[in-house]
Chain A
Amino acid sequence: EADIYQTPRYLVIGTGKKITLECSQTMGHDKMYWYQQDPGMELHLIHYSYGVNSTEKGDLSSESTVSRIRTEHFPLTLESARPSHTSQYLCASSEFGTGPEQYFGPGTRLTVT
């Protein structure tokens, strides 16, 4: 089934650890996004990608990095997790072009102790 997947769904980790949040989509979308969202609050764009080997920082880069080696895969890495990184991370994808719908993944809820 065409969808967008995120793993892990929940993660509790200690300060200073390196973590990678996985995002994969099976819809063949060119554009992919990472958002940070506290529960019920606004979405902050962290990174986005237009396609393979293309990555851009959003308004909230949050000391993270991304890569886009394959169309379907857009992982987010935190080199050194901090308690301020505690939040929900949503991955999204859309077709190339102006105005197509963004499809969101189920999210990863991250807690840094």
Chain B
Amino acid sequence: GENVEQHPSTLSVQEGDSAVIKCTYSDSASNYFPWYKQELGKRPQLIIDIRSNVGEKKDQRIAVTLNKTAKHFSLHITETQPEDSAVYFCAASYGNQFYFGTGTSLTVIP
């Protein structure tokens, strides 16, 4: 089955700096890669996703890049704000199952 690794497990940045979270996957058949944000005590919510036929996608301060050859994808948050503080999960999907990374706890220091 698919194996998704996520790094780092914790990340602290100063407000206004950029944050980068990286994930690798093992199954080359995976073709959909969502990123979820989970605030404390709340449900995970999709913030951005990318399909395997696209190399990069951007939505305001958030961007995701995908390298299919190397089997890794990354989340980039620019101009971080305190409300970006949360746990972020990457996932890889093929067909009907989603395989999640272990999560990154991001803290944005005001």
Please report A residues at the B interface, Cβ cutoff 8 Å.
31, 33, 40-43, 45, 48, 50, 58-59, 90, 98-99, 101-102, 104-107
Please report B residues at the A interface, Cβ cutoff 8 Å.
1, 31-32, 34, 36, 38, 40, 42-46, 49, 51, 87, 89, 93-103, 105
Contacts of A102 in B (CB 8 A): 34, 46, 98
A101 touches B44 (CB 8 A): no
Min CB–CB distance B25 → chain A (angstroms): 14
Chain A contact surface mostly? loop
Chain B contact surface mostly? strand
5 contacts between A and B (CB under 8 A): A33-B98, A40-B103, A59-B1, A99-B49, A106-B43
Min CB–CB distance A7 → chain B (angstroms): 14
B43 touches A31 (CB 8 A): no
A45 touches B97 (CB 8 A): yes
Min CB–CB distance A15 → chain B (angstroms): 26
A107 to B40 Cα, complex, angstroms? 12
Contacts of A101 in B (CB 8 A): 34, 46, 49
Known: A31-B96, A45-B97, A59-B1. A99 touches B31 (CB 8 A): yes
